[in-house]
């Protein structure tokens, strides 16, 4: 059977939207869940997990994180990943070298956090009085917060939990011995395989782009990226379709009948693995989706936090959701201007809105949840 773009599209949707399972198993299968602080109507990590975790409710990841073998950290971007995957990236060497004075400051903070077991940034600031500094947005923030962030990135600290959305830190226990070159290559291969398993199938340009994003996770191995990409292209499943080279895990066949998307309607976060790769999005669905939260309101075409509307294996439009006075409000836009009139779609859309209400804890307040 000749492999087509239709096969790849169905494969991409079906393999990512697997049967809902436990939170731990879902994150293990995804390999990594991207985080974002915007709530519209919930954070990206919750919107991603609600489709893949049975009976998931907004905030479950934050509530259960301290008891799960997970870590918050940078990977291809910032988010949550299994501890075993996290360990592949450490010890991490940051691009910016610290001065001896900065190291002395960090060691004093590490001793303080170690003595207490965990520490909130305000506790560190109150004890050390590091003052204010300019953050990367150009505004002012506590110097202690920036130091804690940098210590977390270097692997001196880990996120133990969150309080009101703020990271509470604990000492990270891990080997600080530099990784040998052969081990570094094996780790980089494993990390790239995690990326492919999350976002497959990937056009060649996207595979290279994701490997470039991995520089934030493992900047110490930047010189090894080209050889890692070459090895990946040799071991992954691949095909050229309509002039584009595609890659996926070698143990999967995109033509298999097992990859059959269901007929549900799903409102996906802009960071969902199904829609994350905008290059692939346009190849699969023939229109341009943009994340416009940081676009000035008068220039927005889709909305502040437009959620792609997936029906079966087609992304046919977008939705904007909000909660007003305890009630879910929704507006929709469609690529064809009007959207499907079929009863099957209308029913499936209402089921999805009802599920959103349950996910948000609005089932007793919202008319959409009747």
- Tens of pLDDT, residues 42-67: 999 999 999 999 999 999 999 999 99
The string of DSSP codes covering 111-147 is HHHHHHSSB-HHHHHHHH---EEE-TTSSEEEHHHHH
In a domain, 329, yes or no: yes
pLDDT band at 34 (very low <50, low <70, confident <90, very high): very high
For residues 238-259, give the mean pLDDT.
97
Distances from the Cα of 353 to the Cαs of 46, 177, 304, 312, 360, in angstroms?
15, 50, 19, 16, 11
Distances from the Cα of 257 to the Cαs of 12, 15, 22, 46, in angstroms?
13, 12, 25, 30
Using alpha carbons, select from 49, 269, 72 the residue that is nearest to residue 165. Answer: 72
Stated as kind and residue range, the H or E segment containing 259 is none
In a domain, 254, yes or no: no
Classified as helix, coil or strand, 167 is strand
What's the total number of domains in the chain? 2
Decide if 158 contacts 172 (C-beta within 8 A).
yes
In a domain, 30, yes or no: no
For residues 12-16, give the mean pLDDT.
98
pLDDT band at 1 (very low <50, low <70, confident <90, very high): confident
User: Is it the case that residue 76 has pLDDT exceeding 70?
Assistant: yes
pLDDT computed for residue 370 by the predictor: 44
pLDDT computed for residue 366 by the predictor: 47
- CATH at residue 111: 1.10.10
Q: In the chain, what is the greatest distance between 2 CA atoms, to the nearest angstrom?
A: 68
Percentage of the chain surpassing pLDDT 70?
A: 95
Give the residue from 123, 151, 171 where a domain finishes. 171
pLDDT digits (tens, 9 = 90+) for 107-119: 999 999 999 999 9
Any idea which residue has 């004890």 for tokens?
127
In a domain, 137, yes or no: yes
What is the four-CA torsion angle of 159, 161, 167, 169, rounded to 10 degrees? -50
Decide if 22 contacts 273 (C-beta within 8 A).
no
The torsion region of residue 209 among left (phi > 0), alpha (psi -120 to 50) and beta comes to alpha
DSSP designation for 80: E
pLDDT digits (tens, 9 = 90+) for 149-178: 999 999 999 999 999 999 999 999 887 787
pLDDT band at 136 (very low <50, low <70, confident <90, very high): very low
User: Six-digit token pair at 9?
Assistant: 């599209």
pLDDT computed for residue 176 by the predictor: 74
pLDDT digits (tens, 9 = 90+) for 180-215: 888 999 999 999 999 999 999 999 999 999 999 999
CB atoms within 10 A of CB 202: 24
DSSP designation for 241: E
Classified as helix, coil or strand, 274 is coil
Decide if 247 contacts 12 (C-beta within 8 A).
no
pTM of the predicted model as reported, rounded to 2 decimal places: 0.93
Stated as kind and residue range, the H or E segment containing 323 is strand 314-324
Give the residue from 136, 155, 171 where a domain finishes. 171
pLDDT computed for residue 365 by the predictor: 52
In a domain, 235, yes or no: no
pLDDT computed for residue 132 by the predictor: 54
Q: List Cβ neighbours of 104 (8 Å cut-off, separation of 6 or more).
A: none
Distance CA 23, CA 36 (A): 18
pLDDT computed for residue 129 by the predictor: 72
Q: 244-248 and 237-241: which strand pairing?
A: antiparallel
Stated as kind and residue range, the H or E segment containing 296 is none
- The range of the structural domain enclosing residue 160 comes to 100-171
Burial of 10 (0-12, 13-18, 19+ CB in 10 A): buried
In a domain, 295, yes or no: yes
Distance CA 344, CA 356 (A): 18
pLDDT digits (tens, 9 = 90+) for 312-362: 999 999 999 999 999 999 999 999 998 899 999 999 999 999 999 999 999
Give the residue from 171, 189, 216 where a domain finishes. 171
The torsion region of residue 260 among left (phi > 0), alpha (psi -120 to 50) and beta comes to beta
Percentage of the chain surpassing pLDDT 90?
A: 88
Q: What phi, psi does 72 have (nearest 5°)?
A: -90, 130
Distance CA 307, CA 101 (A): 46
In a domain, 356, yes or no: yes
Q: Which residues of 275-307 are buried (b: 16+ CB within 10 A; e: fewer)?
A: bbbeebbebbbeeebebbeeeeeeeeebbebbb
In a domain, 68, yes or no: no
CB atoms within 10 A of CB 61: 24
Query: How many residues are given for the chain?
Result: 370
User: Six-digit token pair at 135?
Assistant: 């953050």
């Amino acid at each position: 059977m000749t492999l087509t773009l239709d096969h790849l599209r169905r494969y991409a949707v079906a393999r990512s939207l697997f049967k809902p399972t436990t939170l731990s198993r879902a994150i293990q299968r995804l390999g990594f869940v991207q985080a974002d602080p915007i709530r519209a109507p919930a954070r990206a990590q919750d919107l991603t997990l609600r489709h893949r975790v049975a009976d998931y409710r907004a905030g479950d990841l934050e509530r259960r994180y301290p008891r799960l073998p997970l870590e918050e950290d940078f990977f291809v971007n910032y988010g949550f990943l299994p501890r075993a995957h996290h360990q592949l990236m450490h010890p991490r060497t940051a691009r910016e070298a610290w001065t001896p004075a900065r190291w002395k400051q960090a060691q004093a903070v590490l001793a303080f956090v170690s003595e207490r077991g965990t520490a909130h940034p305000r506790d560190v600031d109150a004890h050390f009085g590091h003052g204010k500094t300019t953050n990367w947005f150009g505004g002012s923030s506590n110097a202690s917060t920036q130091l804690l962030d940098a210590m977390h990135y270097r692997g001196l600290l880990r996120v133990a939990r969150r309080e009101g959305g703020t990271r509470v830190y604990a000492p990270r226990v891990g080997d600080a011995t530099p990784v040998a070159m052969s081990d570094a290559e094996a780790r980089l291969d494993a990390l790239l395989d995690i990326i492919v398993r999350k976002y497959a199938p990937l056009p060649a340009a996207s595979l290279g782009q994701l490997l470039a994003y991995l520089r934030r996770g493992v900047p110490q191995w930047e010189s090894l990226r080209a050889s890692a990409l070459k090895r990946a292209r040799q071991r992954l499943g691949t095909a050229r379709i309509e002039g584009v080279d595609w890659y996926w895990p070698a143990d999967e066949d995109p033509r298999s009948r097992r990859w059959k998307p269901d007929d549900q309607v799903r409102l996906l976060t802009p960071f969902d693995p199904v829609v994350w790769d905008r290059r692939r999005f346009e190849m699969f669905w023939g229109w341009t989706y943009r994340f416009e939260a940081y676009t000035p309101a008068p220039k927005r075409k889709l909305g502040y936090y437009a959620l792609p509307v997936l029906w079966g294996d087609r992304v046919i439009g977008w939705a904007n959701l909000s909660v007003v006075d305890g009630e879910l409000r929704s507006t929709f836009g469609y690529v064809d201007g009007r959207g499907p009139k079929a009863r099957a779609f209308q029913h499936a859309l209402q089921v999805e809105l009802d599920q959103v209400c349950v996910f948000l804890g609005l089932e007793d307040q919202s008319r959409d949840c009747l």
